[in-house]
Amino acid sequence: MSPLLILCIMRVIQKKELQAVQIVPLIRDAEKYLQAMGLKPTTIKSIVSTWKAVIPFMESHGILLYSAEVESDYLNHYFERTGIDFSLEWSQTVRSRMMRLTEFLLTGEISKRTKLSPSFDSEIGQTVEAFLEQRSRNSRLSAYTVEHDRYYLSVFLEQMNRRRVLHVDELGAELINGFLSSLDVNKVSLRHHIIRELRLYLKYLYEEGLLKTNLSRMLPSDAYRKTERLPSVYSKDEINAVCNSIDRNSPIGKRNYAVMMFLSRYGLRSSDICGMQFDNILWDNCVIRVLQYKTKEIVELPLTGEVGEALVDYLRHGRPQCDEKHVFIQGISPFRQLTPAGVYGIVKKAVRESGIDICDRRRGPHALRHSLASLLLKEKVVLPVITGILGHKDSDSTRTYLRIDTEELRKCALDVPPVSDSFYMQEGGLFYE
């Protein structure tokens, strides 16, 4: 019998009698469970650190035993500081980790988070592959779009595999209705995209003669509309505070500072920073020439002294010696190119350590892109120039940033026309009754 199973049985026996235990032994046992699950030591250390943060809370409130109620009280207390001491994203991480500790308390287990990766070996899976291939070929879709479409249909395929529905002729109205009812109604956007892609797939099966009934017609037409949200922007002083919070004495700090310079000064996308190679830097001409990943358009930007100095400092004193052709690489061996997730982590950490109040604003790389557009608008830079700096194909994509220029929008507001007293007194003033 495996150590993991033995530990699980022991915890289940204990929890039949106890729903509240001392916090230190609980964390110790939960840590052993995470080790038995095979999690990385650094991941376990981070999770346990989050768990141990509840100990001072319990001591200050005179609480001796940890329970589900203690978790709830602690999270309510913790979330009061959201946006001041830490971000909403980190609060959600803390909530998830505390829920895992409580799950271990009540069940003796910690559910393993797994990525969606259904098998495509069934007949349904093979037709999904054929559908995606045809759709990609006929519609000239990018690899990015095809990958998202694959994910949406994977949700459907995963459930079919679990139900042992492997053949196309087994698909029917009742099965489709059951799948639709299983979708989370709160995840409006995801539900919309899954239904849209499933509709196209079922139509494909009918047109190819694999289904006798056009099941695509029974799928609901939801009234989903993407909710417009104002871009998150930061002031010039806030951006400088974020950049200056980075410790440039270490190799990683030199890299992170250079990345922040490219993000905040040029508004480059994280994918373009990750894909930047040495050939893209024309030192003699002081120009950066980048082929954008998203638009496939080339953008040329001047290599300013501020950015150039940060880049040279990183290349000379921070970048490890390796054959990697990309400029920005990961800090540990093997030295591969930096990933967009890595860039996001750089910005997230810098914003948190800067101590600025983020309120409800996002704090990823794209927020710096929005901030640059906002600062340019305040400097009265014309829209076509901003379009060129941000690398948009046309000014239509740039016009979305006009929504954040509130000072100029106020100038467009019209005065409310006066209304005569006779309007309100018509029919003896019964208008108000």
Domain assignment of residue 62, yes or no: yes
Do 185 and 243 share a domain, yes or no?
no
Domain assignment of residue 388, yes or no: yes
Do 56 and 32 share a domain, yes or no?
yes
Domain assignment of residue 263, yes or no: yes
pLDDT value of position 428 = 64
399-417: average pLDDT: 70
* Residue span of the structural domain in which 329 resides: 236-409
Total residue length of the chain: 433
| Confidence band of 401 (pLDDT split at 50, 70, 90) | low
Domain assignment of residue 113, yes or no: no
- Report the Cα–Cα distance between both ends of the chain, in Å, rounded: 79
Catalytic residue numbers? Answer: 269, 294, 366, 369, 392, 401
Rounded alpha-carbon distances, angstroms, from residue 284 to 172, 275, 280, 309: 66, 21, 12, 15
Phi and psi angles of residue 7, each rounded to the nearest 5 degrees, phi first: -65, -35
Domain assignment of residue 60, yes or no: yes
Domain termination residue (choose one: 56, 78, 107)? 107
Domain termination residue (choose one: 159, 184, 218)? 218
pLDDT value of position 75 = 82
Do 145 and 273 share a domain, yes or no?
no
| Confidence band of 214 (pLDDT split at 50, 70, 90) | very high
Distance CA 314, CA 193 (A): 42
Buried b / exposed e across 270-307, counting CB within 10 Å, b at 16+? Answer: bbbbbbbeeebbeeeeeebebebeeeeeebebebeeeb
Read off the CATH number of the domain in which 139 is found.
1.10.150.130
Do 266 and 329 share a domain, yes or no?
yes
8-36 pLDDT tens trace: 544 444 444 446 789 999 999 999 999 98
417, burial (CB in 10 Å: exposed 0-12, middle 13-18, buried 19+): exposed
Domain assignment of residue 149, yes or no: yes
Nearest to residue 369, comparing CAs of 349, 392, 350?
A: 392
Do 180 and 251 share a domain, yes or no?
no
Half-sphere exposure of 368 (CA within 13 A, CB side): 28
pLDDT value of position 32 = 92
26-66 pLDDT tens trace: 999 999 999 988 888 888 999 999 999 999 999 998 999 99
**Prediction pTM value:** 0.55
Domain assignment of residue 72, yes or no: yes
Average per-residue pLDDT in the chain?
83
What is the total count of domains within the chain?
A: 3
pLDDT value of position 16 = 40
pLDDT higher than threshold 60 for residue 320: yes
pLDDT value of position 331 = 85
Domain assignment of residue 226, yes or no: no
Read off the CATH number of the domain in which 254 is found.
1.10.443.10
Buried b / exposed e across 52-84, counting CB within 10 Å, b at 16+? Answer: eebeeebeeeebeebbeebbebbbeebeeebee
Lowest mean pLDDT among 91-105, 106-120, 148-162: 106-120
pLDDT value of position 243 = 94
